[in-house]
Structure 1
Amino acid sequence: MRSLSFLLTRRWLLFALTVVLLTALAWRLGLWQFHRLEDRKATNAIVERNVSAEPVPAADVLEVGAPAGAGEEWKRVTAVGEYNPADTVVVRYQTREGEAGVDVVVPLRTAEGPVLLVDRGWMAASNRAADVADVPPPPAGRVTVTGWVRLDGSGSSTRVSDQSVRSISSTAIGDALDLEVYGGFIDLDTEDPAPADALEKAELPDLSNGPHFFYGLQWWFFGVLAVFGFFYLLYDEWRGPGRTTGRTQRWLQGAEHPAVDREHDAVDKA
């Protein structure tokens, strides 16, 4: 048996340092995934509470000129007013179960005065051919709507062009249509009276915990694997040159060229 003095060589010291760094990184990434899991559980608890709560007036939750808060998302609200179909905005590239379609946003002039943007639902349509004229009209006259508060999108996808967008922003739509709007918008749940042709309702959020738990375990497994590999190679070297596998010994000696590996493999087999 050999002594462990070989651990003080440059190659082994660098190898040990690499394993320590990889293990520390795997540990941190695992913790990050578990922190994300806790954050998701907290968010899901808020969403679940908001989704199942009794609806409150939209004016009690949303403000004109101010974005909806993250804690308000998925709260159920209700409003009374009249739709303005002429200002309908189509939200493109809203695929469901592999089928192309669009969401339909119609401004609702509330009894309080400001406009509430209502995503009335989804309809199958070609993303390129969908047009406001193709959309089934909302109920005429005074309407009572109930829906879930959603936060505004951001970035270039919210730019309004020919009454169509890729992501809903109350600020962008309000500016484009010259409307005084509440911050945020709602996904429609019910409207009274009911329309002649109803759209498909918005999909509620996924309240599962996601893959974070298994991702965290996976990162920790990688860390354990790195440590195991280090001690396996250490043991293989400690057994002595006469018992060290040819490829491990060549790695320790720095042999890296494929031709050299093939030559030594032939010697090993002989």
Structure 2
Amino acid sequence: MKIRWMPALLILIVVAVTVRLGFWQRDRAHQKEALEARITQFENAPAQQLSAAPVALKDIEFHRVKAVGRFLTDYVVYLDNRPYNDQPGFYVVMPLKLADGGVVLVNRGWLPRNQDNRTTIAPYTTPEGDVEVEGIARADASKAFELGQGGSAPHQRIRQNLDVTAYAAETGLPLQPFVIQQSSDDHDGLVRNWPVPTMDVGRNYGYMLQWWGMAVAAVAFGLYAARRAAKKEQAPTV
């Protein structure tokens, strides 16, 4: 049988690429599983006490932390488009000035949005004086989809998203590079039924099987095409 090199080469390229992509999705799934195990381990560990000393995000993310300080109410930011039980609302993000110096942002919880006027903030309370806050260190206070940066422009009380580094530059506050997702209860009227972080590992395994299925299909198509070509070559000419 005469081998047609160009079609064979194309099939080999398709197989090599799809097999490699399948392994990449498998590796991503393994990485996410390892991260999920770390998150579970951190959540069950004792809370780390924060101080004025800066802590790198990579060394604190997903750890349980606690901090003592007072809330800076003048710097509050309300993150819009944060639904809870299909009801629109805000996340209340407020800096906490630590008792021994330094500042850390706290995602205090969820607040329902006024259906008639989105700029009207529902009542909630803020503890006066020093308070102990406990929660999980996160890279941000959650991110929502937005077109451009208009919804997160500086000096707005209601925003779509909040970048910690940009907010530190905007306010001049010496912020830690992470946000505390508060779990402790201050009886302030805010909801803290936080969604459980999920890595969606099943999706990666699904993509892995799809890529490898495409590799098998490419091989099967190549064998089928080669068989048909061989039959044509063997067919007697009239």
Q: TM-score range by the shorter chain?
A: 0.7 to 0.9
| Bigger proportion of residues as helix | 1
Given the alignment, which residue of 106, 113, 117 partners 2:101? 113
Name the residue aligned to 1:72: 60
Q: In terms of Rg, which structure is larger? A: 1
Name the residue aligned to 1:265: none
Amino acid at match of 1:226: A
Q: Give the TM-score of the pair, scaled to structure 1.
A: 0.74
- Report which structure shows greater RCO (CA 8 Å, sep ≥6): 2
| Partners of 1:26 and 1:223 within 8 A in 2 | yes
Name the residue aligned to 2:134: 146
Name the residue aligned to 1:21: 13
> Whole-Å Cα distance in 1 between the matches of residues 222 and 59 of structure 2?
48
Unaligned runs of 5+ in 2: none
Name the residue aligned to 1:256: none
| Partners of 2:78 and 2:159 within 8 A in 1 | yes
Given the alignment, which residue of 102, 106, 112 partners 1:124? 112
> Whole-Å Cα distance in 2 between the matches of residues 31 and 80 of structure 1?
46
Name the residue aligned to 2:36: 44
RMSD: 2.8
The SS at the match of 1:93 is coil
> Whole-Å Cα distance in 1 between the matches of residues 85 and 189 of structure 2?
21
Note closer, same or farther for the CA distance 1:196–1:126 as it changes in structure 2 (3 Å cut). closer
> Whole-Å Cα distance in 1 between the matches of residues 81 and 64 of structure 2?
26
Matched, 1:226 2:218: yes
Structure 1 segments (4+ residues) deviating >6 Å: none
| Partners of 1:169 and 1:184 within 8 A in 2 | no
Name the residue aligned to 1:180: 174
| Partners of 2:51 and 2:101 within 8 A in 1 | no
Note closer, same or farther for the CA distance 1:140–1:41 as it changes in structure 2 (3 Å cut). same
- Displacement, 1:131? 3.9
Name the residue aligned to 2:69: 81
- Displacement, 1:140? 2.5
| Partners of 1:70 and 1:151 within 8 A in 2 | no
| Partners of 1:106 and 1:120 within 8 A in 2 | yes
Unaligned runs of 5+ in 1: 244-270
> Whole-Å Cα distance in 2 between the matches of residues 32 and 127 of structure 1?
45
